């Protein structure tokens, strides 16, 4: 498996609008082969800023790369430049190859 994460730093003043944007958008992820699951995570607040992370699980790194080159990716990210004002700087991408996975039985 492959886990793709983007971290965002959002001011408290923009948090509600940022969350509404993510909760209301059409991701198109479910249309992609190799997509496993998605989570939008809200982390701690420090000095008036909140850490958020989008967390997507893929069957493989190749499935993730196919997503980034797809029409679905372009559709899901249409207008992203217009909403960049909601977070500080660019999202920080982190990609992880799974070396161990333990699931509940």
- The number of domains in the chain is 1
Paired tokens of 52: 């958020």
pLDDT of residue 95: 97
Per-residue pLDDT band for 77 (boundaries 50, 70, 90) equals confident
Asked if residue 56 lies in contact with residue 65, where contact means CB atoms within 8 angstroms, the answer is: no
Establish if 24 belongs to a structural domain: yes
pLDDT of residue 61: 97
Paired tokens of 35: 């997509």
Establish if 43 belongs to a structural domain: yes
What sign does the CA torsion over 11, 12, 15, 16 have? negative
Print the domain residue range for 52. 2-97
Establish if 104 belongs to a structural domain: no
pLDDT of residue 60: 97
Could you tell me the CATH number of the domain that includes residue 53? 3.30.70.100
| 24-76: pLDDT as tens digits | 888 999 999 999 999 999 999 999 999 999 999 999 999 999 999 999 999 98
């Amino acid at each position: 498996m492959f886990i793709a994460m983007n971290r965002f730093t959002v001011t408290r003043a923009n948090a509600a609008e940022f969350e509404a944007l993510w909760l209301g958008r059409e991701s198109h992820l479910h249309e992609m082969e190799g997509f496993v699951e998605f989570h939008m995570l809200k982390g701690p607040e420090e000095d008036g800023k909140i850490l958020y992370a989008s967390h997507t699980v893929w069957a493989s790194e190749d499935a993730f790369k196919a997503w980034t080159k797809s029409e679905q990716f372009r559709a899901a990210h249409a207008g992203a430049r217009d909403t960049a004002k909601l977070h500080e700087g660019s999202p920080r991408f982190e990609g992880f190859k799974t070396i161990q996975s333990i699931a509940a039985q």
